[in-house]
Structure 1
Amino acid sequence: MARVSQEHLDARRRQILDGAARCFALNGFHATSMQDILREAGLSAGAVYRYFGSKEELIAAIAGEAFAEIRAAFDAAAGSVPPPTPDVLLGRVLRRMLEERVLGVDRGSFARLVVQVWTETLRNEQLAAVLDEGYSGLRVSWAGLVDAYRDSGLMAADVPADHVARTLIATAQGFIVQQALFGDVEVGVLEDGLRGLMSMQQPKIS
Structure 2
Amino acid sequence: MARVSQEHLDARRRQILDGAALCFARNGFHATSMQDVLKEVDLSAGAVYRYFSGKDELIGAIVTEALETVGEVFNGAARETPPPLPDVLMPRVLAEMRERRPLLLEGGEWMFPRLLVQVWTETLRNEQLAALLGPGFDRIRDAWREVAESYRRAGLLSEDVDADTLARVMVAVVQGFAVQTALFGDIPEETLRAGLRALMSLGGSQLG
What TM-score range do you get, normalising by the shorter chain? over 0.9
> Does the C-alpha gap of structure 1 residues 39 and 56 become closer, same or farther in structure 2, counting only changes over 3 Å?
same
What 5-or-longer segments of structure 2 have no aligned partner? none
- 8 Å CA contact 1:64–1:130 kept in 2: the answer is yes
1:102 aligns with 2:104: no
- 8 Å CA contact 1:17–1:103 kept in 2: the answer is no
CA distance in 1, matches of 2:161, 2:64: 32
Aligned residues: 201
CA distance in 2, matches of 1:102, 1:139: 21
| Cα deviation, residue 103, structure 1 | 6.8
One-letter amino acid of the structure 1 residue matched with residue 128 of structure 2? Q
How well do the aligned residues superpose, as a CA RMSD in angstroms?
1.5
Moved more, 79-88 or 57-66: 79-88
- 1:47-106 deviation line (CA, Å, top 9, x unaligned): 111111111111111111111111112112222222111111111111112x32517446
Identity of aligned pairs, percent?
A: 60
- 1:3-62 deviation line (CA, Å, top 9, x unaligned): 111111111111111111111111111111111111110100111111111111111111
1:20-31 maps to which residues of 2 (within 5 A)? 20-31=20-31
CA distance in 2, matches of 1:120, 1:23: 15
CA distance in 2, matches of 1:84, 1:103: 24
- 8 Å CA contact 1:19–1:104 kept in 2: the answer is no
- 8 Å CA contact 2:102–2:111 kept in 1: the answer is no
Give TM-score scaled by structure 1 length. 0.92
Q: Per the alignment, in what secondary structure is the counterpart of residue 201 of structure 1?
A: helix
Q: Runs (4+) of structure 1 moved beyond 3 Å?
A: 103-107
Corresponding residue for residue 66 of structure 1:
66
1:3 aligns with 2:30: no
Give TM-score scaled by structure 2 length. 0.91
Corresponding residue for residue 142 of structure 1:
144
